[in-house]
Structure 1
């Protein structure tokens, strides 16, 4: 049988950063750690090289990792790489004991069929982790026999984008062990000449700084980083490595001419980035989500970003804010000029923003368009000015017009191609696909803002990219009847610090001179820029550079064309979408790019044993898949799920799940108690927050000897600081505030915001409770068939933010809020197929745990999402403090 290694890598939009990350995870056969400084679990990475060649912003990167199994048994070695989201993989090979297995690019459906056949033959399969901010992880593993060697080699290409005057390349460095030969080599060739070149690393110490070598010689630049083993150590004689973080290269080119044209083998690339132009006044409307889900840290960071953005406003700019929740609330009825007085008043207004209500996205966007139209028609803004809308939201539309398709149609019909709409999606729960289509249909782009301590800087960073429009209505023109297959050549805006790139094919073989004309509107008048070059001289100059990879202009043209076709495909329908898909697929196969439409297959000879097939699926920003690993030989490989933040939950009968991002894993346990028992989930004596849950059981049990299934039928939340108590059952939600008592049904839609507390009832779905900056709970409603003979409605409880809680917090969930350290090893087959046992060391206890699955019902109360976890037996004994009966309390609102 052929041995197939299949992997499909889905790459996405916007950022262009080069990164690579190398890990060797725990092997299948866990043995005592080697005393060697360079060996981890029997596997030694003895060489790790990253070689990148950048030609006119187009980077060709080869990652080569070599490992040897020093153990006396076979071991599993992993090759993990954090790839840039805009990069396309072009090749992957594995060399095992001198035999190389190359990859081939195939249409995704064809590769999928091969993959399914391989799985049916009992071969292994796997998936890769979800995306990060700038990168997505690609993982391949191989079982190495004792004493054998393996070489992994991955090649990818990307166009470095210029943002805020610099091109940046990020290389994530994380070998997890000392490496005999570790090196990063980057060669840069820029025909315009380099004006600056810098390199640094987040992990670089004073001792490591001299190891970074960089040089500029005219139009060539070089960066190298080759630390010795001793320089890699965290301390003298330590076996741990300092190499853990981002290695960053930044550069820019000389700007004597605004344009630069490169021609090789009949393909041209035109880079256009003028400088020293006066900025065009901008008219900007910020459409800001202040719905209840934005409460806490989100709204605080949004306000901080808006305040900083105001400081960067130029006095010739015009601006306004439209806040929205269930209804839209404009700050001013028209755009106003950014005078010092108006900016000061805007700051006072921003300080008053608070979160409450639902999410109506449609109406505020239409109001923003109408406001810009009126300002233009009544000449309230300069004739030569650049208008735009920036939308910030963290959720789906659930108020007013809530159909995403109709919202997109309404906004597109209103804007009519006049203003770009930029959409910023806050957090992972936002409907990013909706925002992406909304922006792409209206001359803009969408970005995800990650919930983190620097969310305000992310918001401000995006504003900085569009803060200084220098040209608008830009049209690039090339020799008539001499070029074909052009990429996008008309642009609404050019912003200071960015760059416009156009590529195409030269059809006139006798063309002596190539002329590129750029026409645009500037701040004061219409402008024309002209680049005229001798075709043969330019080609000869490029070909003399033997270290530059050949034919880069053609590959760059294909790269840009595929990206633009995929982007158009997002909003296309019917025949147009099929045509765009066919064009992108054809180019992907021709130029051997792994794109959303293709996969790469590595085939091994028929006589190989222990066949394996791996599929690596790289994700777009709009997808939220999780890593999983299924293996047939042996029956199990650890499954790691990428969590953006910790989630502590209890649901179903009742299953407690601790999702721990630091470990990229989860622990689960059950509590077996009878109906009516009340369990304490959270108790923080400092903040005064207490959460309890009362168990209910099935309506009947078929056997008297059988313990009935139990679920949470009531959740009680106490917040002593506000004298607040909440009792939620599957029928009602009672809110007791002092002597006031309000009762709501799950049929209600409600949002309350008072004194830093936000309560949101999402009809027949869930109750969201946010307390200040750092405490957020979700109570999920589970409803069964009304006349079900056995089961009844019940509740689930999830903690999404625990920053507010003190170190003294306890309870079945609360005791884990400030982290838990554990180690799992000796994974082995149990008596139950597909559920291996392992040994866990936690809280100085050695436990036998079992791999399994539980459900996370936050997004879908009916089917839920699988979460792989290590199950701790006997009511969590050894994991929880004390025994489970210590957590039984007298009543649902007990604070004892």
Structure 2
């Protein structure tokens, strides 16, 4: 640690020593190039031992190396010995708090090996809390390792109050009241239960469990509560009646409407995201999809979603719905890339996507460039365009164009946009037809229909469909490929424009490398080079030369709208605009993608 950090740590440890109770046992382990301990065993927190510990803390000095694996294993060994030799009470809570400002570089440095070894050594007996001091730590590694050992990780920011942050964390975990707490409910009465078992219950904390009644008419609930206290086991059963609950809600005026349901959703999302940290492969993808779907349904800001704040526009239409944008609205974008439902609210990189929306404009993200390419397709109403076609997964997406209610005689290009989408999975024998009025699912010979006024969650083998009333639908099918269809509603009495749809891909990496289509061909990596940026016909929108697919194109810097979060106003996405229906960027010409029918 740096001199400043070590002084803050020592200040915090000295304050913590003032708060340790005499019945507690403790020890210190330093891990740099060598592993050193204050004492060989756990020491009771007598006044004499605490005075000696203060002297030890004051002489701790900064070192430059980090044998994290060795330090943790030594701590586990000391706890094992204390329990085997009955040095500590049988009914006691043992925890390890590990503080580091760096990454392992002595002994075992492979983080996966360290995770595996620590989990095996702890074997569920102790709780591990990892504190990451400053920006030089691998926080993801610390978080995974803590969660795998029933603890949590916390960042400590090296500011003036770092000592208070350390002391505050210790205060949270220094007074365990119970261990191994479980709340059990009748299995046939409750479903979708959030976490109901807890390693520790600390003084000043709370335990919240939520779930759904199987029978909505049920008027009582029973729960068995079990745990281990300092002197004996805790066990009791309690019942709660519907009338008692209703009365409690009336007394607590802040509990209103869908409060309990939203609390359940919040806890479920939080726990899905926590499990996602240590998951891999298909399990991680499923957890991500579930958390995203709930986040969108209940409108929570999470690491998978975020909040966008837009200023009211002047002269808004009736009902606050914006008109459909046209190509002429493209312009310079001078600010940072704004948040959207797949962008993290912190400074971490966004999740990239492809989309088609508006008139219709296509946005192709190029993550390695931290940039995007966009183009429009200008075709007549009634034409059907192939957007995605994957012969391996059997997934196809086609879109039918509609136009304005009447043609504009002054316009060189007539506005068109998607009025109908057909999404099919041949292997599942599922066809989904989406219009601004209806969502129809055909499964074999069976048809099910919904309107955009419905709020629906539908799950069946290989298919998850969530309709967020009057806003969007989230669809995941087959291999995990996921899409969002956004509903755009214009002013009902608008003399020109009609309601229309947008399509956004969330899990395009779940489609095969053989995927094609106007969107699908860009699910594979694409690279480009920008040269000779110079003023264009519009002084606010510079032109440049783009080298892409061995073609030299003239492109214009502007923006397109991302409507996933806000179907009315959208969020500006800066991009390089390719003219002439994407000529030179798309494979072939745009007319190659015209198909005869929606399926």
Query: TM-score w.r.t. structure 1 length?
Result: 0.37
Q: Does 1:54 align with 2:5?
A: yes
Change (3 A) 1:766 1:749: same
Give the one of 748, 770, 779 matched to 2:476. Answer: 770
- Match status 1:799 vs 2:493: no
**Any idea what SS the aligned residue of 1:662 has?**
helix
Change in CA separation of 1:640 and 1:166 when aligned onto 2, cut-off 3 Å: farther
Within a 5 Å distance, the mapping from 1:576-655 to structure 2 comes to: 644-655=350-361
Note the 1:696-735 alignment, pairs <5 A: 696-703=402-409, 706-735=412-441
Residue deviations 1:185-212, cap 9 Å, x none?
xxxx9636379974499xxxxxxxxxxx
Q: Which runs of 5+ in 1 are unaligned?
A: 1-17, 19-50, 60-163, 169-188, 202-220, 226-244, 252-266, 284-316, 339-360, 388-400, 415-420, 428-446, 461-618, 627-634
Paired residues, number: 395
Q: Which residue of 2 aligns with 1:743?
A: 449
Is the 1:57–1:190 Cα contact (8 Å) retained in structure 2? no
The answer (yes or no) to whether the contact 2:375–2:577 under 8 Å persists in 1 is yes
| Contact 1:823–1:841 under 8 Å retained in 2 | yes
Instruction: Work out whether 1:685 is the aligned partner of 2:547.
Output: no
> Distance in 1 between the 2:209 and 2:198 partners?
26
SS in 2 for 1:424: helix
* Rounded Cα–Cα distance in structure 2 between residues aligned with 1:372 and 1:167: 51
With over 3 angstroms needed to count, the CA separation of the structure-2 counterparts of 1:248 and 1:785, relative to structure 1, is closer
Q: Are 2:529 and 1:786 equivalent residues in the alignment?
A: no
1:853 to 1:52, Cα distance in 2 relative to 1, 3 A: farther
Give yes or no for contact 2:396–2:425 (8 Å, CA) kept in 1: yes
Asked if the contact 2:373–2:577 (Cα under 8 Å) also holds between the matched residues in 1, the reply is yes
Give the corresponding residue for 2:191. 329
Partner residue of 2:111? Answer: none
Alignment of 1:371-770 (within 5 A): 375=224, 380-384=226-230, 406=255, 424=270, 453=280, 644-703=350-409, 706-770=412-476
Secondary structure in 2 aligned to 1:803? helix
User: Corresponding residue for 2:179?
Assistant: 282
Task: Tell me the distance in 1 between the aligned counterparts of 2:60 and 2:545.
Answer: 59
- CA deviations 1:790-813 (Å, max 9, x no partner) are 111111111111122111000000
Q: Is the 8 A contact 1:655 1:669 kept in 2?
A: yes
Counterpart CA distance in 1 for 2:421 and 2:560 is: 21
Bigger relative contact order, structure 1 or 2, given CA contacts below 8 A and separation 6+?
1
Q: Is 2:39 aligned against 1:193?
A: no
Query: What is the rounded CA distance, in whole Å, between the counterparts of 1:456 and 1:884 in structure 2?
Result: 38
Q: Which moved more, 1:881-890 or 1:763-772?
A: 763-772
Unpaired runs of 5+ residues, structure 2, are 11-27, 33-55, 69-99, 105-134, 143-161, 200-207, 236-248, 288-301, 310-331, 344-348
Q: Distance in 1 between matches of 2:337 and 2:259?
A: 42
RMSD: 5.4
Distance 2:278 2:570 in 1: 23
Distance 2:576 2:422 in 1: 28
**1: distance between equivalents of 2:484 and 2:419?**
15
Matched ranges for 1:96-175 at <5 A: none
Give the number of the structure whose residues are more often strand, by fraction: 1
Contact 1:716 1:728 in 2 (8 A): yes
How far apart are the structure 2 equivalents of 1:815 and 1:697? 26
The partner residue of 1:889 within 573, 595, 599 is 595
Give the whole-Å Cα distance in 1 for the aligned partners of 2:285 and 2:401. 44
Residues 881 and 779 (structure 1), Cα distance of their counterparts in 2 relative to 1, 3 Å cut: same
Q: Aligned to 1:768, what secondary structure does the other structure show?
A: strand
Please report how far the alpha carbon of residue 660 of structure 1 lies from its aligned counterpart in structure 2 after TM superposition: 3.2
Aligned-partner Cα distance in 1 for 2:492–2:185 = 47
Please, what TM-score do these two structures have when normalized by structure 2? 0.54
Aligned residue number for residue 553 of structure 2: 847
How many Å apart are 1:875 and its aligned residue?
A: 0.5
Task: State the distance in 2 between where 1:717 and 1:222 align.
Answer: 50
What SS does the corresponding residue of 2:546 show, helix, strand or coil?
strand
Question: C-alpha separation between the residues in 2 aligned to 1:857 and 1:804?
Answer: 23
Instruction: Write the distance in 2 (CA, Å) between the matches of 1:637 and 1:865.
Output: 13
Offset from partner CA, 1:565-599 (integer Å, 9 cap, x none)? xxxxxxxxxxxxxxxxxxxxxxxxxxxxxxxxxxx
